[in-house]
Structure 1
């Protein structure tokens, strides 16, 4: 069963029925004022930091689900009937319904009883408010007397306290003035949310209890039954933004009004600021500017392949998800409360990989922000909160190492070698160059090794769920071992490129040390996952459970450390043991119990999350590893299996949005195999874009220029692509003339034959456009 379709011309996903298996959401805003919104208008709003600058509430794990949100109610004053044009929260079945999730906006249209309504929600670029543009048309054939009611539920600015405690509501004040409700929580500094409209307001409610009524919900507010608000201010109680506006329509008549929700740093000027934001001409311009913003972002890379699913993802939704994930890391979504995740060091360092081609300046700033929570000794805090610059966490074995590949990727993209010399503070005082930050990360890992000479797991590695393997201390992570080898490999390439002779010697010694440990961690057909606190092997064929893990095999290949025989053997074992119709399991078989003494370390059900689930983040690494070995069919098989749009016809099974990647879906040991969760904000987005564009399609920036190195399915006759690289538009045509899937044998640029498969950076200087033809 499907619930919608892709409108690629308008770059929208169109939902055709409101009762999706889970709320299918979209994000509004670009990293400053923002929020998420579901296909039935559930969701919340916040500014920069969803924990310390929360504007409206959203209730997680709540029934009714997906409440509250950004609601408009309509009531026919002649019949007494009322409904929601967004279906929720009244949930009366509409005569027609359509939700269009676009890039940075959502438009929900419906008709009920001959009344056609469309509400378009968006956040103007660079502004600190959101717009609800409401259009109502009377197709009933009779004159109508309607009333429209707005509704949001305000939150205490510190979301964690709002969720945990009752006392924050005692600090709430809200009142109506000149068409606007202004809300304040008495301890908030310079933060005054407001809601207002240019429709004529005949009444209002700031009190949740007065608007909803006792023992009622958003589905049946007493104000809707009464057909009017009670003009209630609020002091020391839960607060809402409810306004009642008469809308009288002749037969065939159409009217439009606007609602704005935002905040002001000054209570006295909040109404004035809100009124300025109601200018309808400016709103039209703002929406056009929003469309232009995304046109520009997507213009940096586009692709035309024989596979339409690939085109849908690479040209629209994957890039959109990459930017959204860059903006919000793992901080806030339908699955994250916006409290404890912030901008994760490991998360955000990886997120830059999906956007560095389009917004390199923002990527550079983000890298420096993250490096500023690294310690002098090399490890790092885990989370940065953007509003107050505070950090928390730390003690993990992998966080700090992610910076190496991210910085190297940025320099490959931009040629900005001087970035290595920029000084960035350490979290515990002093500062160092960007290069010193990376080197200290490597040194920390080398200095914290266990009895087998493998990096210690510490509090956890990338798989946080595996933390209990280290219950008695001393456990060692083979994933981090290969991550270290990969980081050193990257530094070696960097040093050789820029002539750091002494540093190259230091890195070569570490790399040789890693190579000397391969026999220690090889299990005969694949690599182990870890040594536990007792020094026992984990991820070995001798175990009943958790015999083979995906990550050590893929990162082994990415590190270029194993022999060719080991690399092929490890990836053969991956395909044989871990492949399913939805992608690769993170390991198999998962234990269906939790018992540390029996080496069952993960306290979640078999087939879920990191315990035998299909964790798509890890699948992207498998795609890259297969490409590095030239195994194009396996690479594309894994990539294709993970494509969200392949789920569109089986949405009742997969449940989550078919237009964005999810963190994971349940694996084959779970009774709901194929059901997804944790969509949108996931490292999968950036890594899948990198895997597809730079490895399968092979358009890969390097220090010396742009490499053209495709590893496409043999059935493809080729593909076309356009990409900005160092301010030059590169138009690429690849032809498969061999009928198989070989690598480039002939590369011409503007008719000039290249010596190898690289377009030299020197050739591109001074140009704005080059035409490239590659033959494989």
Structure 2
């Protein structure tokens, strides 16, 4: 079918100029041709545009397993329009580290490539490509077990960061475990890979990937703060603006979010150990996970609220920052540990409910969740605790607090909790299609690309400190930040497949676990899944999650329920049983919720 955008092009146009009253204005377009090119004669620009769109969509159709969404809902139309563009953005992030505001290029960020590209490739059943990414990641592991924050390739391969934030290693473990869980390829653990060597660029000695994992786990355990099973903050966590001001503080600080990442990664590796009959290692890691959870609850949750950070004081007691009791920063809430507490499974149900209520009350703005309830106070650029957050005059990205990547993780936590209506709204807030309808206080945005942040222009950091509450109330215009380059688009497509239409492969089982509001009754999706064409129809009558019956080609299919700490889980069907029912060219699957 011909390309049909969500917008009526004749009514809205593909290009919009918004100009205030002025006597004159000037606009220039600059193009640059760096290499000789053959001229192509275009007889009809309209026909050529249509042809190019159709060709691009065919490429995406083949790459995306023929993924398509159908429904009368405006949300479905918006998702349908953005998915191919986010697919393009995700491929750019995977293959070429460039963005529209990062046109000079960059390097492979260790945490970045372990998220968006891995999620994208696994969701689209590109297992060999995901495996190759993991080979590259673990071949760039340092001999001490850790990684640099980023590294470069080819003739620039000697250029690497000489430090890394405390969370980097966990993303590598999570990416590996996700690959094994989805592909069922346990043999990857036997692949022999080198460590990076500064002298030789790549060490000649290779060891099995399983040894790489064991060395990493040993390094992490040895880093635990004395008397606890809590990892130190180190060079920082995911929020780059909150890097500690000096090395002494780095060893005293504990990031609750990083501790949750440690718990999640170790729990997943522990499960892999169990499945590969490494019983003793599985037991040791399970005991460590229990200690992590116990110390997390003892030291980092105070009065029922998770702190952003703990601080080891001179008497070895642990105080907290970014918490209602915090008088140093006067910041009460941080969304990172609230989201990851649910995603990691370290929260119990009562904690998960309580923290999502706190997010709703204190961390929501019209364009999505904020990283904290207010920005770090600016005091003339003099850092006291954190580096960039206290020195930067630029108020945007992490410092401006609405960072879309973490908002997508918030959407993921909502899906895990089974909150269909909130999940759909969060997904819409993350995309620019028809953005003013969802976020009325926004400016005009390019509607076919990923924005890494949603920022407000203030006169100064002091002005931002004084007027920040107006942002959350929707009284100020929010503007799009850096475009394209992020792991966010790959994560987003992964959520569309694994949480919206609700198809996952986990250790030889098929999980069917869509999370949808009742307004999505009659929603449908098509995808080529496990080599079979599926047409999925969703009847959303009773709940927003957890199927009560599933029919494949008219036959009622028996299933177990997935374990979920926070609600009734999705349907679990053996992969062999599921595939045996897919006997038609296009298989009709009806999911009643």
Separation in 1, partners of 2:216, 2:91: 23
Matched pairs, number: 530
Q: Is the 8 A contact 1:331 1:338 kept in 2?
A: no
- The 5 A counterparts of 1:704-715 are 704-715=508-519
Aligned with residue 597 of structure 1, among 355, 363, 384: 384
* Aligned: 1:441 with 2:216: yes
The structural deviation recorded for 1:772 is 2.2
SS at match of 1:195: coil
TM-score, normalization: structure 1? 0.61
| Higher alpha-carbon deviation: 592-601 or 319-328 | 592-601
- The 5 A counterparts of 1:458-469 are 458-469=234-245
- The 5 A counterparts of 1:525-604 are 525-532=304-311, 536-543=319-326, 545-594=330-379, 595-597=382-384, 602=389, 603-604=391-392
User: Deviation digits for residues 71-114 of structure 1, max 9, x if unmatched?
Assistant: xxxxxxxxxxxxxxxx7338xxxxxxxxxxxxxxxxxxxxxxxx
Aligned to 1:485: 263
Q: Is the 8 A contact 2:540 2:592 kept in 1?
A: yes
Q: Is the 8 A contact 2:534 2:586 kept in 1?
A: yes
Change in Cα spacing, 1:628 to 1:255, as seen in structure 2 (3 Å) is closer
Task: Report which structure shows greater RCO (CA 8 Å, sep ≥6).
Answer: 2
Q: Is the 8 A contact 1:373 1:427 kept in 2?
A: yes
| Higher alpha-carbon deviation: 606-615 or 520-529 | 606-615
Aligned to 1:321: 86
User: Deviation digits for residues 338-374 of structure 1, max 9, x if unmatched?
Assistant: 34x3121111111120232333322221221122111
Aligned to 2:407: 619
Separation in 2, partners of 1:13, 1:724: 35
The structural deviation recorded for 1:310 is 3.6
Aligned to 1:371: 138
Change in Cα spacing, 1:769 to 1:762, as seen in structure 2 (3 Å) is farther
| Higher alpha-carbon deviation: 472-481 or 322-331 | 322-331
User: Deviation digits for residues 523-547 of structure 1, max 9, x if unmatched?
Assistant: 2232111135756421110235322
| Higher alpha-carbon deviation: 632-641 or 700-709 | 632-641
The structural deviation recorded for 1:549 is 0.6
Aligned to 1:170: none
Q: Which structure has the bigger radius of gyration?
A: 1
Q: Is the 8 A contact 2:245 2:384 kept in 1?
A: no
* Aligned: 1:639 with 2:427: yes
Change in Cα spacing, 1:641 to 1:395, as seen in structure 2 (3 Å) is closer
Aligned to 1:758: 572
Separation in 2, partners of 1:709, 1:255: 48
Separation in 1, partners of 2:498, 2:259: 25
Change in Cα spacing, 1:319 to 1:546, as seen in structure 2 (3 Å) is farther
Q: Which structure has more helix as a fraction of its residues? A: 2
Aligned to 1:421: 190
User: Deviation digits for residues 224-253 of structure 1, max 9, x if unmatched?
Assistant: xxxxxxxxxxxxxxxxxxxxxxxxxxxxxx
Q: Is the 8 A contact 2:261 2:340 kept in 1?
A: yes
Aligned to 1:659: 448
Separation in 1, partners of 2:159, 2:480: 31
The structural deviation recorded for 1:7 is 1.7
Aligned to 1:307: 73
Aligned with residue 160 of structure 2, among 374, 392, 404: 392
SS at match of 1:356: helix
Separation in 1, partners of 2:284, 2:574: 29
Separation in 2, partners of 1:465, 1:444: 26
Aligned to 2:15: 17
Aligned to 2:176: 407
Q: Which structure has more strand as a fraction of its residues? A: 1
Change in Cα spacing, 1:701 to 1:560, as seen in structure 2 (3 Å) is same
The structural deviation recorded for 1:714 is 2.9
Q: Is the 8 A contact 1:666 1:676 kept in 2?
A: yes
User: Deviation digits for residues 304-338 of structure 1, max 9, x if unmatched?
Assistant: 2453334433x453343244334335821221143
Q: Is the 8 A contact 1:326 1:348 kept in 2?
A: no
* Aligned: 1:609 with 2:413: no
Q: What is the root-mean-square deviation in Å for CA atoms of aligned residues?
A: 3.7
Q: Is the 8 A contact 2:514 2:546 kept in 1?
A: yes
Aligned with residue 116 of structure 2, among 346, 351, 354: 351
Change in Cα spacing, 1:493 to 1:319, as seen in structure 2 (3 Å) is farther
Change in Cα spacing, 1:501 to 1:648, as seen in structure 2 (3 Å) is same
User: Deviation digits for residues 139-188 of structure 1, max 9, x if unmatched?
Assistant: xxxxxxxxxxxx6275xxxxxxxxxxxxxxxxxxxxxxxxxxxxxxxxxx
Q: Is the 8 A contact 1:732 1:773 kept in 2?
A: yes
Aligned to 2:460: none
The structural deviation recorded for 1:520 is 0.7
User: Deviation digits for residues 428-486 of structure 1, max 9, x if unmatched?
Assistant: 33333334434443433332233564212222221121113555331222211000111
The structural deviation recorded for 1:290 is 5.3
| Higher alpha-carbon deviation: 547-556 or 687-696 | 687-696
Structure 1, gaps ≥5 residues long: 22-63, 66-86, 91-150, 155-193, 200-253, 259-283
Structure 2, gaps ≥5 residues long: 20-24, 198-202, 457-467, 561-570
The structural deviation recorded for 1:551 is 0.7
Change in Cα spacing, 1:17 to 1:742, as seen in structure 2 (3 Å) is closer
User: Deviation digits for residues 691-733 of structure 1, max 9, x if unmatched?
Assistant: 3331243222212222111221133214222233332333322
Change in Cα spacing, 1:732 to 1:412, as seen in structure 2 (3 Å) is farther
- The 5 A counterparts of 1:107-256 are 152=32, 154=34, 194-198=35-39
